[in-house]
Structure 1
């Protein structure tokens, strides 16, 4: 939707040659918009209680930037979250001072703070732990809450990495993605082989045809702090498993490639065809299929603590039955 006031000022009253390309003018405009947006958030918050979530992000100059998000219940009873601001920090004391300074800047009393949350997988984990302790020491009602789904993901990562066979599974798959998806040419070859196999299976009646079925996919990379991505990774590997060896075999036979590349493809081809790899693949798909459903459920906005604990208990029962 177009804002008529902005349209009148920026479009109708400005000369056509005014492009606003000077960096200082652009920064002033962005700063003015940020101030107005923040003032609107503070006005909506009024004198309500609130909680904060502090995370970190590394900018292009490799400096750690602390990001503060504020969470509260608005006048309509809706839980809302807004970005309050960010700043560079270097140690625990600085982090605490920066948070208090940011809140004070917007005339928010930290005594109204009723919750705090931090990313335990962050590069600034130590700083955030120190900040949590400092705030709790002064304000006992600023309860620390850790994201349930993040706890589940970190637990899965920690346990799985202790099993050498499962670690090898993901290490091997990462190499497969790098080799098979290492170029657009190989990626296209994989898609062509997969498409041909799907057509053949459909003609033989081995696959069902219908809306949403047999869609084109590709090998997906996994990320450690998003453990649900590991499940999607393994599912994509299982789906394209019959096509991957064909691509690796083509790489092995390609005399234009270096001996190191062909040797790596040959080793991957042998590893993919072992019983240990197939067993680990199907085992982890079954296990993560259980936890992935709970992970998605824990991310729902309407989730509550009672239902969350019930979901965790059901997951434990299903794993124990396995």
Structure 2
């Protein structure tokens, strides 16, 4: 098409339907993403069709709503933003060259650990996280081998950035949380989806996520990744150093408190749950469905 204005798309749809002897008068619904040319109140495709065919109710694609909710949540949390940025850097470095991809594939086969290919985060959230998680050690070996061949490849800085407890911890957490939202995404794309159940599905997902705020779930993530860090020789998380105040500024009622890295991580972990849950809730309010 020459352009994607609502008017041009409407003319194109009418032309194509006429070509197949289909009448718009039989249209009872329309579903697109939330782009202005599709959903605009006055000039969008949906409003143009609705003006001529009142039965053609417009519904903003629910899977796209979920996608937008996750985007909103991800961009607001530093730990998530950093982890996802590193996932994309891994993909760009290894998959950006057939030689580098071959190194990865060779080591992957040798490890017999996973057959999952690397995926860009923008394509599919859950599978991009799980592919890095399951191939983590292979990726480390790949980056080391690439660095031996090409010192200017940025493989070594990337290796250092992911050879950290924070990366493996948040990668593990995001893989689990995106798995939960992926289940919702699949449900929202089924052909027999009941319009009246959409909010119920969203609420169930939120409840499932909120359940993970219980300390026992955090402890499982923490202990699992502490063990992995120990096994791989990754430095364990340590409490940040506190700049000491001069003694004259410290009294008995205002003693300096140590900062617990585990508590900091738990707070960030809960923030991820809160942000994702709130974003889903806002996108799937009854009034907006």
Of structures 1 and 2, the one scoring higher in RCO (CA 8 A, sep 6+) is: 2
Distance 1:216 1:135, change over 3 A: closer
Q: CA deviation at 1:106?
A: 5.6
Which consecutive unaligned segments of at least 5 residues does structure 2 have?
A: 213-289
Deviation, 1:291, is 0.8
TM-score (norm: length of structure 2): 0.63
Q: What are the within-5 Å matches in structure 2 for residues 166-177 of structure 1?
A: 166-177=80-91
Assess, with a 3 A threshold, how the Cα gap between structure 1 residues 272 and 111 changes in structure 2: closer, same or farther: same
Matched residue, 1:221: 120
Query: What is the CA-CA distance between 1:105 and the residue it aligns to?
Result: 5.6
Q: Which has the higher helix share?
A: 2
Whether 1:276 and 2:171 are equivalent positions in the alignment is no
Task: For residue 308 of structure 1, report the CA deviation from its aligned partner.
Answer: 3.8
1:127-146 correspondence runs (5 A):
129=40, 130-146=44-60
Tell me by how many angstroms 1:307 deviates.
4.1
**1:126 maps to 2:40:** no
2:148 maps to 1:253 = yes
Summarize deviations over 1:173-198 as a string: whole Å, max 9, x none: 12212223333333333233334434
Instruction: After TM superposition, give the deviation of residue 90 of structure 1 in Å.
Output: 5.0
Give unpaired runs (5+ residues) of structure 1.
1-64, 66-87, 199-213
Q: How does 1:144-293 map to 2 (within 5 A)?
A: 144-198=58-112, 216-224=115-123, 229-254=124-149, 257=150, 259-261=151-153, 264-293=154-183
Counterpart-to-counterpart distance in 1, 2:106 and 2:13: 54
* CA RMSD after TM alignment: 2.6
- In 2, are the aligned partners of 1:220 and 1:233 still within 8 Å (CA)? yes
Distance in 2 of aligned mates of 1:287 and 1:170? 13
**How many angstroms does 1:280 deviate by?**
1.8
Deviations 1:104-151 (A, max 9, x none): 566655443321222335xxx425522222333343322112222222
Look at both structures and tell me which one has the larger radius of gyration over its CA atoms: 1
- What is the TM-score when the length of structure 1 is the normalising length? 0.57
Whether contact under 8 Å (1:89, 1:98) holds in the other structure is: no
> Counting strand residues as a fraction of each chain, which structure ranks higher?
1
Q: Report runs of 4+ in structure 1 exceeding 6 Å deviation.
A: none
The one-character-per-residue Cα deviations of 1:211-242 (angstroms, maximum 9, x if unpaired) are xxx55232222335xxxx21111111011101
Kindly tell me the number of residue pairs found equivalent between the two proteins. Answer: 209
